[in-house]
Structure 1
């Protein structure tokens, strides 16, 4: 009489989940490169956002001809859209300054997901703020340059040239900030998608 024991065949494939390995030097290298570009772009966005706020905030102009009773003056605080623009761009610039340490963390630790995820979320929030304030200011700048014949609003830029140049430059600078924030979001999303 023979006794046989059935033993199931074992496979050589290990079905346990393995712990993720540290990124290969090549992967860490391109992630670090993206993080360095991210830091440099943030510095440019800070300059553009704070430049836009400063340019709009100092855009006052008084026409040289005035009498004792009438004085023709244009100032950013005459328009609520411009006031919103100055406050919003100051907030965007402040956020970008505060985001620099997190950008440094992504340079030092390219595999850190938490810092990059926080940056992409906050970049999106402040991108929205920059777009809305820039669009509101752009509509007023357009009216100042072209007027509106249907409502009898005259174009004032033929008289207030310095005021219009300063406000137009501020709007252009805000849209440079928007473009840089767009690039930051795309780069962060690419780095996060390649992290898995």
Structure 2
């Protein structure tokens, strides 16, 4: 059986039938080939277009998450305030590295930001080739890990910020933000930025799962 394209349409396949000889008569008779046309689907697949749209949204959200985690890490890493007490030689000082939780916060957001930068090529591959399962599966797995890391550091830092703002009368912990009026707003803003990155990562995980379901 020979396969050939019929006409100018790339989606048509013509299947000619070989010559058939009749055994009833003494002489062989030749039957003309009968082309059979099978019409294939033409145009881009709707699933491919849908997956490409998800890939574009994924890329934009990753850039936003990079900005949020980078800003959170930068603000936390540059937070420092000194309060003069009696003389300029005797001061109270508050810095992010005085709190192990804030150091953990800085490291966690930096790791997430670095991962998101490295994931951009895989996101671009998902746009160019939306049917590739491997790239989307890797993004889903590592996005989930990054989400867990960012959520943990943001939650731990939020607990310290709450104590800094309100204190704890039961344990005689004073509210530090009454004195350090520049330190607390900066660390609070860093925590808000980190929670924004958490929200974006949640959306990224949902998009990756939806894309895998449609492939």
TM range (shorter): 0.7 to 0.9
Ranges in structure 2 where 5+ consecutive residues have no aligned partner: 1-40
Aligned to 1:37: 57
* Matched length: 175
Change (3 A) 1:68 1:102: same
Q: Relative contact order (alpha carbons < 8 A, sep ≥ 6): 1 or 2 greater? A: 1
Q: CA RMSD in A?
A: 1.7
The alpha-carbon deviation at position 159 of structure 1 amounts to: 1.1
The alpha-carbon deviation at position 25 of structure 1 amounts to: 2.4
Change (3 A) 1:23 1:145: farther
Contact 1:23 / 1:111 at 8 angstroms: preserved in 2? no
Show CA shifts across 1:101-139 (max 9, x none): 000000100111000000000000011100000011001
Aligned to 2:76: 56
Going by fraction, where is strand more abundant, 1 or 2? 2
Q: 1:124-139 to 2 correspondence within 5 Å?
A: 124-139=144-159
Secondary structure of the residue aligned to 2:130 is coil
**Partners of 2:103 and 2:61 in 1: how far apart?**
26
Aligned to 1:169: 189
Going by fraction, where is helix more abundant, 1 or 2? 1
**Partners of 1:118 and 1:138 in 2: how far apart?**
30
TM-score by length of 1: 0.86
Q: 1:10-49 to 2 correspondence within 5 Å?
A: 24-49=44-69
Contact 1:66 / 1:72 at 8 angstroms: preserved in 2? no
Secondary structure of the residue aligned to 1:134 is helix
The alpha-carbon deviation at position 70 of structure 1 amounts to: 2.3
Ranges in structure 1 where 5+ consecutive residues have no aligned partner: 1-20
TM-score by length of 2: 0.78
